[in-house]
Structure 1
Amino acid sequence: MEPLQDVTIWIAGDSTVANGQTPCPAGWGGQIAALFDERVTVVNSAVGGRSVRTWLYHVQSTMDSTGECALERDASGEPVLQDRWVQMLGGMKAGDYLFIQFGINDGSRTCDRHVGLDAFKSSYGMMARAAQERGAQPVFVTPVSAIACSGSTARGTRGEYVTATHEAGKEHGAPVIDLHEHSVALYNELGFCPVPGGDVSATTGGPVGEFFCDDHTHFSRSGAERIARVVADAIRDQGLGLAAYLR
């Protein structure tokens, strides 16, 4: 049996995935490297506040005739790519993995963050094909849920973008980690509902206040570590090749 090669996990996402510069907020992408052995390098290029298209492209504040936010284009009419995506593609090699999680900011009604469902899925498809062309494995991750309650039960919050992520996975041959479903299950397991005071704020105490920052979306470092373990468990449970590198 040949030894496992060194691999890089490339991550694209929003603030719930980003490294974070302070203990709050922190994203799961900044915490997941510790769960893998020394053969894995994690390059987390998630950026707070981004939709999939503002992460990929230079997006204007006006909508085009299709109802999507207009993209800046070069002299040949091609969309201008963000440097983060160009650099990622330049370093990606066979055997690597590309994790993609958006769908939290994409539902904005206004530009530049608005992304319709078809454009959302086609953007995932473009990224998946680029990874596959380089011999890397794309993995789509449904958007992690905010904490919201129906009485004593946590409920999902990301709606159509969860379904769109699953549909994109089927269409483009990428496995899908349903972090949305798994995060809701975790909130129920931890008994987060009902949230004290009805919503999370800077004064929320107890387990909920320790897990989240000063709102219902962003994680503390310990919360991000727990979400990272959920992602790692899904990698193992779904039998992805990357599971062989987990500690």
Structure 2
Amino acid sequence: MTTIFIAGDSTAAKKETDKRPEAGWGEYLEAYLAPGYHVSNHAMNGRSTKSFIEEGRLDAIDKALKPGDFLFIQFGHNDQKVTEDRGTQPDGEYQSYLAQYVDVAKKHDAQAVLLTSVTRRDFYEGQLNQATLGAYPQAMSEFAKEQQLPLLDMYQITQDLYQNLGYEETKALHLQLAPGEHPNYPEGVTDNTHFNETGAKQIAQLVAKAIKDAGLLPTTV
């Protein structure tokens, strides 16, 4: 069986029960892949390219990868937090850390696949902020071109989705709850970064379509 390993942040990560209905797209990707492909989701909330490595999470993938597997790499949201230890500069450390993930994949004759970050739901006066992830999507794209690696441009894909849906409709994809609506969030929550289960499933479908369009793997979408 071919395994798709995911190294990434909260937008892809599996959530604990006390965080539901928050969800990550990596939880649902396998449902949209053809039989014979398994997803091993190592994405974690709050991680950047840097902190994921420093915590030994890439080492765990290194030990499990085998020839023919895939390593999907999606970071940017937390790399953008440059005032914190986990932050990286897009044209410096960010790409240097990405190279470490690629080296691990190459060592095992696995295929590294780079994904630009999914967008935030960042609207101002009804207009979606096209630069909400700063220079990180472009830095990822440039790195993919330089390394001659497959790129799934999830930033542009999700930007297009949000532009089409608009301000109100995109609320249905995110963790947004009124006070008392869910026991995990008694005071309510308005989160424009993290997905609910509906949103995570929709993004997973878009990732699967991008995989199919890139000719990487057979999918059911």
Q: Is the shorter-chain TM-score for this pair beyond 0.5, marking a shared fold?
A: yes
Match 1:99 to one of 72, 75, 85: 72
Provide closer, same or farther for how the CA distance between residues 223 and 47 of structure 1 changes in structure 2, counting only shifts above 3 A: same
Structure 2 counterpart of 1:89, one-letter code = D
Alpha-carbon distance between aligned partners in 2 of 1:201 and 1:246, rounded to the nearest angstrom: 29
Q: Which residue does the alignment assign to 1:230?
A: 206
Give, in angstroms, the shift of residue 189 of structure 1: 2.3
Q: Which residue does the alignment assign to 1:155?
A: 129
1:217 alignment partner, SS class: strand
Give, in angstroms, the shift of residue 33 of structure 1: 1.0
| TM-score where L is the length of structure 2 | 0.85
Provide closer, same or farther for how the CA distance between residues 152 and 194 of structure 1 changes in structure 2, counting only shifts above 3 A: farther
Alpha-carbon distance between aligned partners in 1 of 2:126 and 2:117, rounded to the nearest angstrom: 22
Deviations 1:69-96 (A, max 9, x none): xxxxxxxxxxxxx1x3222111111111
- Higher relative contact order, chain-length normalized (CA < 8 Å, sep 6+): 2
Give, in angstroms, the shift of residue 108 of structure 1: 1.3
Alpha-carbon distance between aligned partners in 2 of 1:176 and 1:165, rounded to the nearest angstrom: 8
Give, in angstroms, the shift of residue 52 of structure 1: 0.8
Q: Within 5 Å, which residues of 2 pair with 1:7-156?
A: 7-22=2-17, 23-58=20-55, 82=56, 84-117=57-90, 118-156=92-130
2:104 alignment partner, SS class: helix
Structure 2 counterpart of 1:113, one-letter code = R
Give, in angstroms, the shift of residue 113 of structure 1: 1.3
Alpha-carbon distance between aligned partners in 1 of 2:160 and 2:129, rounded to the nearest angstrom: 9
Is the contact between residue 153 and residue 193 of structure 1 (CA under 8 Å) also seen in structure 2?
Answer: no
Question: RMSD of the TM alignment (CA)?
Answer: 2.3
1:116 alignment partner, SS class: coil
Structure 2 counterpart of 1:94, one-letter code = P
Alpha-carbon distance between aligned partners in 1 of 2:168 and 2:30, rounded to the nearest angstrom: 30
Structure 2 counterpart of 1:159, one-letter code = G
Structure 1 counterpart of 2:194, one-letter code = H
Greater CA radius of gyration, 1 or 2?
1
Stretches of structure 1 that go unaligned for 5 or more consecutive residues are 1-5, 59-81, 205-212
- For these two proteins, the number of residue pairs brought into alignment is 206
Provide closer, same or farther for how the CA distance between residues 88 and 149 of structure 1 changes in structure 2, counting only shifts above 3 A: same
Give, in angstroms, the shift of residue 110 of structure 1: 2.5
Alpha-carbon distance between aligned partners in 1 of 2:32 and 2:170, rounded to the nearest angstrom: 29
Provide closer, same or farther for how the CA distance between residues 195 and 142 of structure 1 changes in structure 2, counting only shifts above 3 A: closer
The alignment-based identity, stated in percent, is 35
Match 2:148 to one of 173, 193, 197: 173
Provide closer, same or farther for how the CA distance between residues 200 and 89 of structure 1 changes in structure 2, counting only shifts above 3 A: closer
Alpha-carbon distance between aligned partners in 2 of 1:108 and 1:55, rounded to the nearest angstrom: 14
| TM-score where L is the length of structure 1 | 0.76
Bigger proportion of residues as strand: 2
Provide closer, same or farther for how the CA distance between residues 112 and 222 of structure 1 changes in structure 2, counting only shifts above 3 A: same
Deviations 1:108-164 (A, max 9, x none): 133321112211101111211220221111111111111122544433311210111
Is the contact between residue 151 and residue 194 of structure 1 (CA under 8 Å) also seen in structure 2?
Answer: no
Alpha-carbon distance between aligned partners in 2 of 1:188 and 1:111, rounded to the nearest angstrom: 31
1:20 alignment partner, SS class: coil
Is the contact between residue 13 and residue 41 of structure 2 (CA under 8 Å) also seen in structure 1?
Answer: yes
